Copies of this chain bind each other. A is one copy, B any other.
Amino acid sequence: MSVKVVIIGGGSSYTPEIIEGFIQRYDSFPVSNITLVDIEEGNDKLETVGALAQRMIAKASVPIKLEWTLDRREALIGADFVTAQIRVGGLSAREKDERIPLSHGVIGQETNGPGGIFKAFRTIPVLMDICEDIHDICPSAWLINFTNPAGIVTEALLKNSKHDKVIGVCNIPFNMKNSVAEMMNCYPNEVQIEFLGMNHFVFGKRVFIKGVDKTQEVLEKLMKKEIDFSPANIVSLGWSAEFIQSLQMLPNPYHQYYFQTDEVLEKDLKAFRENGTRAEVVRKVEKELFIQYQDEALNEKPKELEKRGGAYYSDAACSLMVSIYNNSLDIQTVNTFNKGAIPDLPVDSVIEVNAVITKEGPMPLAVGSIPLSVKGMIQQMKALEELVIRAALTGDYFEAYQAMVMNPLVPNEKTAKILLDELLEAHKQFLPQFN
């Protein structure tokens, strides 16, 4: 049986990571065809990444047939899995998502902050189109989405597109497990974290090491700041003992934006003044990476890739495909329909949750009622996500305003309007629904 994977956004600098993933897992997941797809503007990168991937496959001597193309519909023919890692508007759009809020003293936060709202506005319509194509051309294919904001995008697709085989993945749960493993001196696969919440707003409710509940031990280490969950792209400030003691759960690095707003903002502003936005930093890193990629001697994933914020994203996606393919029934953390797993959120919400991975998709493990301490905040963020999705689909100005004014990072109604207007103007080209 042949297995075909289509990588949308294949010209991304992260592609070598996913290619490496397929090579390493070839025995359990014998991919026969990989097609990298990108858009016109990304053609040069696509060529570079394609050639590198080709060299990686050749070196590994696995019988994977690789192609790359700008014709998405053509590429989708016969696909079993489609991954999406796109960036509508490119890094310069991300730069605006960050710079414009910062210029008004507000954190941009490209996932669920004001910047993330606009990332969702730009991304959702494009991924809706992609889903439409998949539904037409390869309806039994799974779409593995790791385009941010991954949770919001996945909910938008699962609720509004005809294609219902969509799963969102993120590297945050992956990183949290790795951090716990390091701190507890064990292997990552011996760690289970019961996650509660949504993408980038997920808490670790309980931690098990080899099946034994070690939550208290981990929390104590966290109070002593012996552990740090942050991926490369996020400032890490550490948590006060009181916060952890009262929370009785593991926060994720994105929670800093909401509970340490001033300090994060200060750091962001300082970093901005020194190095420009995170987008600009990334641009520089990417430039350097592509110089390496062009080196025809290079035939493996450069180490530098692992130090980036998005590291392990592809790993998470790869693991998921392997388990679907093999009906492994192992537990992975994915973005999928709630179905009651968190009874305080709508049944048809998308949450980030541990799920048993089967050939027919993820089956979420019920988490139970949200502890009162974070119940309100999680419900608020979920409602915010719904507002973002609604506005992304309708292009209604006042619905977009609602999303902006209800965002906890936006300090007041006046700023909400300023940010909304400036971002709408700045991203005009990529927001046809608002025109």
Contacts and interface: CB of A to CB of B under 8 A. Distances in A.
Contact of A327 (B210, B411, B414): B210
Interface in A371-396: 372-377, 379-384, 386-387, 390
Interface residues of A, number: 72
A242 B375 contact: no
A160 B422 CA distance: 41
Among A210, A239, A245, A379, find the residue whose CB has the most chain B CB atoms closer than 10 A.
A379
A250 to B, nearest CB: 15
A432 interface: no
B246 A360 contact: no
A243 B405 contact: yes
A368 interface: yes
Interface stretch (A118-126, A129-137, A294-302, A339-347): A339-347
A430 B369 CA distance: 34
A380 B387 contact: no
B366 A212 contact: no
A417 B246 CA distance: 11
A390 to B, nearest CB: 7
A225 to B, nearest CB: 14
A212 B359 contact: yes
A307 to B, nearest CB: 28
Contact of A376 (B330, B383, B412, B416): B383
Given A208-B360, A239-B413, 20 more contacts: A208-B327, A212-B359, A242-B398, A245-B401, A259-B412, A260-B414, A262-B412, A339-B366, A339-B369, A340-B341, A340-B368, A341-B341, A354-B363, A364-B366, A372-B383, A375-B379, A376-B406, A377-B380, A379-B379, A380-B380
